[in-house]
Structure 1
Protein backbone atom coordinates (compact mmCIF):
# COMPACT_ATOMS: atom_id res chain seq x y z
CA UNK A 1 0.00 0.00 0.00
CA UNK A 2 1.30 3.43 -0.88
CA UNK A 3 2.44 5.87 1.79
CA UNK A 4 -0.52 8.24 1.32
CA UNK A 5 -2.92 6.09 3.38
CA UNK A 6 -3.51 6.54 7.12
CA UNK A 7 -5.24 4.33 9.67
CA UNK A 8 -8.37 5.93 11.14
CA UNK A 9 -9.91 2.91 12.87
CA UNK A 10 -8.83 -0.53 14.12
CA UNK A 11 -10.79 -3.53 15.30
CA UNK A 12 -10.23 -7.21 15.93
CA UNK A 13 -13.69 -7.72 14.41
CA UNK A 14 -13.56 -7.81 10.59
CA UNK A 15 -17.29 -7.10 10.31
CA UNK A 16 -17.04 -3.91 12.36
CA UNK A 17 -14.15 -2.70 10.20
CA UNK A 18 -16.14 -3.43 7.04
CA UNK A 19 -19.17 -1.52 8.38
CA UNK A 20 -16.99 1.51 9.17
CA UNK A 21 -15.39 1.30 5.72
CA UNK A 22 -18.75 1.12 3.98
CA UNK A 23 -20.08 4.05 6.02
CA UNK A 24 -17.10 6.16 4.95
CA UNK A 25 -17.52 5.19 1.30
CA UNK A 26 -21.23 6.09 1.43
CA UNK A 27 -20.15 9.55 2.62
CA UNK A 28 -17.71 10.03 -0.29
CA UNK A 29 -14.60 9.18 1.72
CA UNK A 30 -12.62 6.46 -0.10
CA UNK A 31 -11.58 3.76 2.38
CA UNK A 32 -10.10 0.27 2.46
CA UNK A 33 -9.67 -2.39 5.14
CA UNK A 34 -6.15 -3.66 5.70
CA UNK A 35 -6.55 -7.11 7.25
CA UNK A 36 -3.55 -7.87 9.45
CA UNK A 37 -5.06 -10.87 11.19
CA UNK A 38 -3.18 -14.13 11.32
CA UNK A 39 -4.62 -16.43 8.66
CA UNK A 40 -4.58 -19.46 10.95
CA UNK A 41 -5.63 -17.89 14.25
CA UNK A 42 -8.15 -15.07 13.73
CA UNK A 43 -7.75 -13.91 17.33
CA UNK A 44 -4.34 -12.39 16.57
CA UNK A 45 -4.09 -9.13 14.66
CA UNK A 46 -6.26 -6.22 13.64
CA UNK A 47 -8.36 -5.00 10.76
CA UNK A 48 -7.35 -1.41 10.03
CA UNK A 49 -9.59 1.02 8.16
CA UNK A 50 -7.37 3.20 6.00
CA UNK A 51 -8.12 6.46 4.18
CA UNK A 52 -6.02 8.74 2.05
CA UNK A 53 -4.13 11.39 3.97
CA UNK A 54 -6.26 14.27 2.69
CA UNK A 55 -9.40 12.59 4.10
CA UNK A 56 -8.14 11.74 7.60
CA UNK A 57 -9.86 14.60 9.43
CA UNK A 58 -13.19 14.09 7.62
CA UNK A 59 -13.04 10.35 8.27
CA UNK A 60 -12.28 10.73 11.98
CA UNK A 61 -15.07 13.29 12.36
CA UNK A 62 -17.51 10.96 10.60
CA UNK A 63 -16.52 7.97 12.73
CA UNK A 64 -16.80 10.07 15.91
CA UNK A 65 -20.25 11.40 14.91
CA UNK A 66 -21.40 7.93 13.90
CA UNK A 67 -20.31 6.38 17.21
CA UNK A 68 -21.96 9.14 19.27
CA UNK A 69 -25.25 8.52 17.42
CA UNK A 70 -25.25 4.89 18.62
CA UNK A 71 -25.43 5.89 22.30
Structure 2
Protein backbone atom coordinates (compact mmCIF):
# COMPACT_ATOMS: atom_id res chain seq x y z
CA UNK A 1 0.00 0.00 0.00
CA UNK A 2 3.04 2.27 -0.08
CA UNK A 3 2.34 3.35 -3.64
CA UNK A 4 -1.39 4.05 -3.20
CA UNK A 5 -3.03 7.47 -2.80
CA UNK A 6 -6.19 8.54 -1.02
CA UNK A 7 -8.73 9.96 -3.47
CA UNK A 8 -11.90 10.00 -1.38
CA UNK A 9 -12.89 10.20 2.29
CA UNK A 10 -16.34 9.64 3.82
CA UNK A 11 -17.91 9.12 7.21
CA UNK A 12 -20.35 6.69 5.56
CA UNK A 13 -19.04 3.28 4.50
CA UNK A 14 -21.48 2.61 1.67
CA UNK A 15 -20.54 5.89 -0.03
CA UNK A 16 -16.90 4.81 -0.06
CA UNK A 17 -17.94 1.43 -1.51
CA UNK A 18 -19.92 3.17 -4.27
CA UNK A 19 -16.89 5.30 -5.16
CA UNK A 20 -14.76 2.15 -5.25
CA UNK A 21 -17.27 0.46 -7.56
CA UNK A 22 -17.42 3.40 -9.97
CA UNK A 23 -13.63 3.56 -10.17
CA UNK A 24 -13.42 -0.19 -10.80
CA UNK A 25 -15.94 0.06 -13.66
CA UNK A 26 -13.48 2.49 -15.26
CA UNK A 27 -10.66 -0.02 -14.86
CA UNK A 28 -9.01 1.64 -11.87
CA UNK A 29 -8.12 -0.71 -8.99
CA UNK A 30 -9.43 0.67 -5.70
CA UNK A 31 -9.64 -0.37 -2.06
CA UNK A 32 -11.63 0.96 0.90
CA UNK A 33 -9.74 1.40 4.16
CA UNK A 34 -11.85 1.48 7.32
CA UNK A 35 -10.30 4.10 9.59
CA UNK A 36 -13.15 3.99 12.12
CA UNK A 37 -12.36 3.16 15.72
CA UNK A 38 -14.49 0.17 16.67
CA UNK A 39 -14.71 1.12 20.34
CA UNK A 40 -15.60 4.79 20.10
CA UNK A 41 -17.13 4.91 16.57
CA UNK A 42 -15.24 7.92 15.31
CA UNK A 43 -13.15 8.09 12.17
CA UNK A 44 -13.79 7.69 8.47
CA UNK A 45 -13.45 5.50 5.37
CA UNK A 46 -10.84 6.16 2.69
CA UNK A 47 -10.75 5.08 -0.95
CA UNK A 48 -7.22 4.43 -2.21
CA UNK A 49 -5.96 3.92 -5.76
CA UNK A 50 -2.51 3.24 -7.22
CA UNK A 51 -0.52 6.48 -7.42
CA UNK A 52 -0.41 6.26 -11.23
CA UNK A 53 -4.22 6.47 -11.36
CA UNK A 54 -4.72 9.33 -8.89
CA UNK A 55 -5.48 12.14 -11.37
CA UNK A 56 -7.83 10.01 -13.46
CA UNK A 57 -9.64 8.77 -10.33
CA UNK A 58 -10.12 12.30 -8.99
CA UNK A 59 -11.56 13.41 -12.34
CA UNK A 60 -14.00 10.48 -12.43
CA UNK A 61 -15.10 11.18 -8.85
CA UNK A 62 -15.70 14.88 -9.53
CA UNK A 63 -17.50 14.25 -12.84
CA UNK A 64 -19.66 11.24 -11.96
CA UNK A 65 -20.30 11.08 -8.20
CA UNK A 66 -22.53 13.37 -6.18
CA UNK A 67 -24.12 12.23 -2.92
CA UNK A 68 -26.02 15.46 -2.23
Aligned length: 68
TM normalised by structure 2 equals: 0.91
1:1-71 equivalent positions in 2, closer than 5 A? 2-42=1-41, 44-67=42-65
- Let me know the Cα RMSD of the aligned residues: 1.6
Q: Which runs of 5+ in 1 are unaligned?
A: none
4+ residue runs over 4 A deviation: none
TM normalised by structure 1 equals: 0.87
CA distance in structure 2 between the partners assigned to 1:16 and 1:67 by the alignment: 10
Give the CA deviation at 1:3: 1.1
Q: Is the 8 A contact 2:19 2:65 kept in 1?
A: no
Q: Which runs of 5+ in 2 are unaligned?
A: none
